[in-house]
DNA sequence: TGTTGGATCAACT
DNA sequence: GTTGATCCAACAC
């Protein structure tokens, strides 16, 4: 509807992580990859909050791996896992408090053809329905870890899109902290990574 | 220096 | 529902 496009600034990332996670649904992830521009609308995220959250990488304390989570909100935290995949997080809250929002699902908007390149089966239109797949489609690796999301390379935008209904559920793929309902997703989106119903 | 297991995904049975 | 692919950080020694 509206044509206004607003890049999310530092203040967006310095609020409580659960608010940020909820508000990220429907925002657009934008990555300037060389002369190309890739973007996708977020449909699924999970919050990881503090050293008290057993599923958060910061549960073991500050290490070289999770260091950027201890920095000020509004930076990228990209880690490597399972020998083959990268996962993209948005660091939140003040410096010294480790928290982040994992980007789990998105709908390709711009640069969709480029996102197909890493895939053996480019005919699939499910290139970004999972945290590992988003990084694969966007070409994000450890090299993009710690980028300032208020900069010009990798950032998030509010393009005026408002999701119809945002569901919540427990988080996926973790062994500890599964009681918390810290996953947020746009209901009925085909780009949500797994179908787990809304729980109260 | 060596071991272990993970915020995944695709391809099986 | 289970498994294999395959890296690296964390931790034990």
Q: Give the CA-to-C1' distance from A96 to C1 in angstroms.
A: 42
Q: Give the whole-angstrom CA distance, residue A45 versus residue A179.
A: 16
Instruction: Please give the protein residue whose CA is closest to the C1' of the nucleotide B8.
Output: A132
pTM of the model: 0.94
Q: What percent of chain A has pLDDT over 90?
A: 88
**What pLDDT band is residue A188 in, cutting at 50, 70 and 90?**
confident
A185, A164 contact by CB (below 8 A): no
Condensed to tens digits (0 to 9), the pLDDT of residues A6-16 reads 999 999 999 99
Please give the Cα distance from A113 to A137 (Å, whole number): 10
User: With left for phi above 0 and alpha for psi between -120 and 50, is residue A177 left, alpha or beta?
Assistant: left
Report the protein residue whose CA lies nearest the C1' of nucleotide C6. Answer: A83
CB A38 within 8 A of CB A138: yes
Residues with CB under 7 A from strand B: A 46, 48, 55-57, 69, 77, 80-85, 87, 89, 100, 102, 120-121, 130-133, 171-175, 193
The protein residue nearest C11 (Cα–C1') is A60
Q: How many CB atoms lie within 10 A of CB A134?
A: 29
How far: A198 CA to C5 C1' (Å)?
32
């Amino acid at each position: 509807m509206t044509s206004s496009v607003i890049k999310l600034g530092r203040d967006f990332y310095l609020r409580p992580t659960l608010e940020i996670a909820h508000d990220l649904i429907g925002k657009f992830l934008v990555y300037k990859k060389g002369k190309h521009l890739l973007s996708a609308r977020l449909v699924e995220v999970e919050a990881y909050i503090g050293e008290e959250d057993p599923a958060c990488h910061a549960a073991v304390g500050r290490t070289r791996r999770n260091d950027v989570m201890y920095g000020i909100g509004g930076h990228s935290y990209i880690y490597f896992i399972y020998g083959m995949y990268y996962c993209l997080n948005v660091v939140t809250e003040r410096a010294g408090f480790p928290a982040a929002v994992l980007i789990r699902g998105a709908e390709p908007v711009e640069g969709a053809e480029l996102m197909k390149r890493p895939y053996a089966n480019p005919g699939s239109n499910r290139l970004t329905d999972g945290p590992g797949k988003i990084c694969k489609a966007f070409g994000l690796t450890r090299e993009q870890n710690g980028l300032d999301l208020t900069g010009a390379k990798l950032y998030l935008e509010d393009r005026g899109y408002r999701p119809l209904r945002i569901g919540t559920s427990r988080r996926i793929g973790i062994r500890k902290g599964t009681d918390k309902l810290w996953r947020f997703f746009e209901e009925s989106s085909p780009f949500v990574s797994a179908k787990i119903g809304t729980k109260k």
